[in-house]
A and B are shown apart, each in its own frame.
Chain A
């Protein structure tokens, strides 16, 4: 497929070791080694970067404007071109992609981080819900995912055994991922909110990730095998859960279609499915067959640093292209309850 002259690629990716808690580090200190790694990998210094965009949430740390603290890590003086999204860093990457696409920069640094350990994540996430009808009931993130899982089981799309197999496969694959928080043989455990068991839920933890994007020849100069973003799109569904068919994800399907996913097969899929049941929904929406390796990194079931886990999916897919393990990959990020918002990116490496 001929490419636009402003083709954009992921040229570097780094992530932290994801941990249950990082009391010894500030958010900035957790992030700095990751920023250092992508800058070292590309040879770009802080002031060489054309645009910087980050994703994080004040509600995780419980402090307003918390993203300003990490700006020290990107050399924000003298002033730089910078932006922030109060959601997963995958959406920060989308903003950076637009910036590069429109020719306003040649390189972009995208980073995201989240420390879930200071608060109670399940309670914190209730504050992103509709404040009139949902938030006053404090339905936590596991409960809402469990409603979706039950709907899938009732529809015959999966059962508890199949969900356990997704968990086992993810954590087995994660054994090869040195950054994973949960890897290897993990007990599936008792019910958290029935029908979801502990093993169906992501670990709660702290982590950070960073990606460098570059346009055209700059990308070729910075990376041996750039992971070209041939399509990217994000879509949203009605916020009321009772309006949606929880067994399907039309927003994911539409984003995938607009991103060009369905024009050719993919060998790799990195799906942001924090709950096993959500992988079932996403496989269906993205029409993934057996020839696609799903979440070879272990996915969000192995490490789910909130606000970074979606960006990590794009980074993991890109990294496989960088090292020649993939030629065409799909990366997916989600935000909100029960896959409310979905971003799909298609990445390709140059064929030898």
Chain B
């Protein structure tokens, strides 16, 4: 390890540089007075101020706010749905004496969304929705399609996180609770859920992050009417990104960091 020890700090620095150089660039250029591009025209807070501009007079501010709201609504809704479904799936997979063939099939069902490239999930969804649209107009592309798409890939990740915690927990505490005549509900509510809580929160955080990070699935399923921040950015990057998009991205990162820290505190507080 000693000789490797000399290379480790270099690799760690390179790694963190690759991770943080783009974030720093975004944060720094959000204070650029220039409207777009890499020319530095002096420090300014005008783009942050402009985000709060009156939507009546400033259509641009309204669009950016709308896209940000869509991103958050999509993230929160899909996270709630996928966390519930994913946790149930993990419990169902782990806590019942399924024959090994069924267990294997369940394992595959959870693996498939993870090993499918997102562009395939997106392509399948768009083709499927195009057919289903003839059945019912509620299958039009748009926010509902985006939520469905996000939940589809999030479920597997939540199930994986929760399930690994269930494996670690083992059966002993449940058995003890049952021996002490805990009812099913009492057992779930007072034994399983408190022990599983950190993993559920962790899975939900992962799902939310993946939703914020996803572009491909939203891009394919968004339809003409609804846009999220990444789609907005993608469409406007050819002509050069305007600085207000850097400002809103910076705010979004700060917001998520605060959220993650708060959730971390909350789960720690629950455990104490």
Same complex:
no
A-binding residues in B (CB < 8 A):
none
